[in-house]
Amino acid sequence: MARFVVAASCLVVLFGSSCGPTVPVPDAGRVTGGGLAGTGGGTSGTGGGSVTGGGSATGGGSADAGVTCMPVAAISPNFTVPGLFTIGSGNTAGLEFWTANVPLLTTNNRLNIFVSELYQQPPNRVTFPFAGVMPANTNFMNCQVCLQAALGCDQMGNGCQSQFLATSGTFSFTEGTQSPDAGRFVGSITNVTYREWNFGTDVPAASGACFTVPTVSFTAVWPFVLDGGTGDGGM
């Protein structure tokens, strides 16, 4: 969907060729020790199905039990990143959601883009802090906490070599401003498993590629203002 692509493009325009630190994830499109494998394609669309508010959420089990995935380093940028609070329309009508976009430059000058989204469906609204476990049946259409990774993208966030969806993890969101005009979205997800995903059929990709991250954390702000070329959102 265009919303993700636009967000990625804005990041590149703002950061230029220095979109955060070199990403710890192996270069997409190259099988390394049975880990990541690229399948081609662009960026994904917008998830979020029927969601409920409240102060906590719980899941059951793990959709990734018995699967051995490549471990990678934590993704915890020391700079603020662009964020959004969106009142849905079209295929997201009736939903509201927060978005954080983390672009990381790879060693071959490509981008790995990590997108974290949290959905609510008024009148059921999220109360912060909001914490819980991603449910075992997580997919793109039913996720309330939707974590995507587009790997090996070009400098405009297009032509990504592989796309992943997080299917397990423990989340904690501490702040989310419910205004499209200005605000912050702060959170972290621990013990995250990303699986290569077929977003057309909303099932894991046939490659079975996956990787695990001990922590994905962010502080997202909007409007985003580049602060002195440091990659700091200025808030």
DSSP SS3 for 116: strand
Domain housing 31: 2-52+66-222
Question: Could you tell me if residue 61 is inside a domain?
Answer: no
In angstroms and rounded to an integer, the radius of gyration of the C-alpha atoms of the chain is 16
pLDDT 10s digits, 131-160: 999 999 999 999 999 999 999 999 888 999
- Diameter of the chain by CA atoms? 47
| Residue 142: inside a domain | yes
Contact 164, 184 (CB under 8 A): no
The answer to whether residue 233 sits within a structural domain is no
Structure tokens at 10: 């804005």
Average pLDDT over residues 169-174: 97
Give the per-residue pLDDT at 91: 85
Confidence at residue 106, expressed as pLDDT on a 0 to 100 scale:
86
Distance of alpha carbon 17 from alpha carbon 52, whole angstroms = 39
11 against 105, higher pLDDT: 105
Q: What is the dihedral of CA 209, 166, 206, 140, to 10 degrees?
A: -160
- pLDDT for 16-60, tens place per residue? 333 444 444 443 333 222 223 222 333 334 444 434 344 444 444
| Cβ contact 105:149 at 8 Å | no
Going by the DSSP 8-state scheme, the letter that residue 220 receives in this structure is E
Backbone torsions φ then ψ of 164, nearest 5 degrees: -130, 155
Task: State how beta strands 96-105 and 70-71 pair.
Answer: unpaired
- 228 inside domain: no
Confidence band, pLDDT 50/70/90 cuts, at residue 114:
very high
Q: What is the pLDDT of residue 225?
A: 85
C-alpha span between 134 and 125 (Å, rounded) = 18
- Whether 10 has a pLDDT exceeding 80, the answer reads no
DSSP string, 43-98: -------S---EEEE---S-TTTT---EE---B--SS-EEEEEEE--GGGTT-EEE
Q: Are 18 and 231 in contact (CB under 8 A)?
A: yes
From the list 169, 41, 162, the residue with the least C-alpha distance to 106 is 162
- pLDDT of 191-206, one tens digit each? 999 999 999 999 999 9
Facing residues of 75 across strands?
Answer: 216
pLDDT greater than 80 at residue 3: no
Residue 232 lies in a domain: no
Domain count, the chain: 1
Cα-flanking dihedrals φ and ψ of residue 228, to 5°?
Answer: 65, 25
- The answer to the question of residue 79 being in a domain is yes
pLDDT of residue 11: 41
pLDDT (mean) for 69-86:
93
- Whether 59 maps to a domain, the answer reads no
In a domain, 235, yes or no: no
Residues 6+ apart with CB under 8 A from 229: 18
